[in-house]
Amino acid sequence: MKLSEELDRKTLIANLGGPANVAALSPEARADAMEELLQNELNRVSAGKSKYPTVAELEEQVASRPFRRGVGNTFHSVSGNVQRLPPMPAAPTLLDFFRLRFATTANHCLQSAHLALKNGESEEIILACLLHDTVQELMKADHAWWCAQLYEPYVSEKVTFAIRYHQVLRFYPDEAAGYAYPALYRTLFGEDYKPEPYIENAYRILKDHKWYHLPRAVTVNDLYAFDPASHVSIDPFVDIVGRHFKQPKDGLGFDNSPVAHMWRTIITPDRPL
């Protein structure tokens, strides 16, 4: 059996910081990461430890990295140096960002949107799935709040609500909806992780909210068994974006909206100040 077949794909994805990072790796870098993961797992098991880290073990790892885990994918590389980015049009559209800037998140989000389309979700949910993790290019900590803010001027309140609260609902299983706690989170957050009070408070409000089903649909169509080898085209979603995304005529980043600076930072992340 090949090394790649022996490994738990979800654990590998978690080890690399989530599905978004995996897409950006070359096959060689992915093979190296797999080898390192296998070695770490062997070390854990031979030391009599659980396959999953504890919260305290993850905390101890903080000072072992040259960056913090919450930093956006654009700002560091999981293997080697970051690369020069292609130029963007003067008035960039959402599709330009998918093409030229969402290098580490587009594939995962397209696969989620594709699943939502296949499951017969509404166009607003399909759009929410298409956008739900794209802000991880800029920021990963509390990413759903950042992501909802990034899109708030351009989409409906329902789309924003679905994006903002998928981060909360992913910690709470809902069997009736077909959502189980992902094994990926035992690796990412620690096997003994308990959601912080602000997450619990949000969940208490959400579970009785008339729009509970919106962020729940994002978690149900989110892909935890993400396949980096599979590529979904954006073509099936172009009309949905056209109907539900208010593209500013001056371009994202240049419309003087309260979030324009966030888009500009994604366009030019190499600016020193």
Tell me the closest approach of the beta carbon of residue 170 to Fe ion, in angstroms.
7
* Cα end-to-end span (Å), the chain: 50
Tell me the closest approach of the beta carbon of residue 147 to Fe ion, in angstroms.
8
> In this complex, which beta carbon is closest to Fe ion, that of residue 149 or of residue 247?
149
Number of residues that bind Fe ion (CB under 5 A): 2
User: Which residues, in sequence order, are bridge partners of residue 71?
Assistant: 139
How is residue 86 annotated by DSSP? P
Tell me the closest approach of the beta carbon of residue 28 to Fe ion, in angstroms.
26
Residue among 20, 97, 78, 82 nearest 262 (CA)? 97
User: Which residues, in sequence order, are bridge partners of residue 139?
Assistant: 71
The answer to whether 140 touches 71, Cβ cutoff 8 Å, is yes
Interface of this chain with Fe ion, residues 214 to 243, rule: CB under 5 A: 222
> In this complex, which beta carbon is closest to Fe ion, that of residue 137 or of residue 222?
222
Tell me the closest approach of the beta carbon of residue 124 to Fe ion, in angstroms.
17
The answer to whether 115 touches 131, Cβ cutoff 8 Å, is no
Tell me the closest approach of the beta carbon of residue 163 to Fe ion, in angstroms.
9
Question: Could you tell me which stretch among 28-36, 51-59, 125-133, 187-195 binds Fe ion (CB under 5 A)?
Answer: 125-133
> Rule CB under 5 A: is residue 124 a binding residue for Fe ion?
no
* Cα Dmax for the chain: 59
> In this complex, which beta carbon is closest to Fe ion, that of residue 144 or of residue 252?
144
- Alpha-carbon torsion, ordered 232, 18, 68, 36, to 10 deg: -120
> In this complex, which beta carbon is closest to Fe ion, that of residue 88 or of residue 128?
128
